[in-house]
Amino acid sequence: MNHDHAAVRSIRILAVVAAAVLAMSSLFIIGSRRAEGAGAPCSVAYQVNQWNTGFTATVTVTNGGPAVTSWTATWSWNGGQNVTSAWNAQVSQSGSSVTAANEPYNGSVASGATVSFGFQTAYSGTDTTPVGFAFNGVACSGLGTPSPPPSSPSTPSSSPPSGGSCPSGVVFCDGFESQTSTTPSGRWSVVTPDCSGTGSATITTAQQHAGTESLQIDGRGTYCDHVFADDLTDMAAASPTWYVRFWMKHTTPLPTNHTTFLALNDAAHNNTDLRLGAQNGALVWNRESDDATLPAQSPAGVAQSVVVPTGAWECLEFAVDGASGQIHTWFNGTAVPGLTADSVSTPDVDDQWLAGAGASWRPRLTDLKLGWEDYSSGDDTLWFDDVALSTSRIGC
């Protein structure tokens, strides 16, 4: 990574670091009932990343009626909320009433399919959940169950299959249960990019998402202490679209400076890495070949990512499409707008990612590395478990 550029970027957004680090995720289901004449539920999932004066929200609507070629979602608030910006919809507000209309590229929603959009909002007093939600005039009220993750023309797969931690039909799924020593073996080998230090990758029975074992990474905050468990054998079997799912638990809040806990060698771009980690406390994709980030590290961009809690197992999924260059990312089963690169340039999200040569970026991934790189300072102990690679959506 260009570390001088990273430092400049961090300075520019110093004012929003506290907001990003303090962001909290919560999921509310605010609509599920049978719409009149539709014969199927209209359901709305509402995910919030909130701080003390504002929040971003991702709304996912399941169309329970006939296919539509355009849509309008409406709702109202009982608090002092005011929409300041939006993505994947044209959002307007009059008093407490809000209207979201489709963009030209996402107006068509098949019966049973979902569409997702989001917005940033400032508020005073108490933040309340939207009420009176309707989709094309059909009310969605009462309690229900979460709608599936978005499945639109720009999303490379539909909802994940149901099943346990290691569903059938994947290229591989490894809970590290076959490991016989503390040193990762079999498909995994320990690698130390750049130079070897005091960081370590071991198999442990002290923590596990399922079973009895997991991969433990003791990450150190200096340049030579990079360490990963690397799988070189399986990525070709999933080409050209790689779906990866893993569970992760860590001990220290992800820092302001750039860190990486997953890296993928890109043979199409001089064997540089496509990296998933964090910056400004929230998840970020980084492309080593040109140092582009997804989302852009602006206040609005960081707010559209997620902060990974400490001390709990969290599920991360992603899809990287080598044919189109698209990236889709899910956190605990919910799509993350800020970690989505599709064919439409979205300000503060993938506009930097798609700029210049990024528009023709087509990766060819050859390995999967789980571990820790920190480019400034900061230690963390992480555990990985139930790692899966597939040619389709895996699920948590």
Is the predicted pLDDT of residue 3 greater than 80, yes or no? no
Which residues have a Cβ under 8 Å from the Cβ of 338 and sit 6 or more positions away? 282, 283, 294, 295, 301, 302, 303, 304, 305, 306, 349
DSSP letter at 299 equals: H
Q: CA torsion, points 182, 222, 279, 234, in degrees to nearest 10?
A: -40
Is residue 318 a contact partner of residue 99, using CB atoms and an 8 Å limit? no
Percent of the chain with pLDDT over 90: 50
Mean pLDDT of the chain: 81
Which residues have a Cβ under 8 Å from the Cβ of 16 and sit 6 or more positions away? 280, 299, 302, 303
The Cα 100–Cα 173 span in angstroms is: 40
pLDDT value of residue 37: 32
Burial class (CB in 10 A: 0-12, 13-18, 19+), 11: exposed
Q: CA torsion, points 10, 347, 88, 338, in degrees to nearest 10?
A: -20
Gyration radius of the chain over CA positions: 21
Dmax (CA) of the chain: 65
Is the predicted pLDDT of residue 190 greater than 80, yes or no? yes
Is residue 189 a contact partner of residue 232, using CB atoms and an 8 Å limit? yes
Closest Cα partner for 228 from 203, 252, 193? 193
Is the predicted pLDDT of residue 141 greater than 70, yes or no? no
pLDDT digits (tens, 9 = 90+) for 273-294: 999 999 999 999 999 999 999 9
pLDDT digits (tens, 9 = 90+) for 312-368: 999 999 999 999 999 999 999 999 999 999 988 999 999 999 999 899 999 999 999
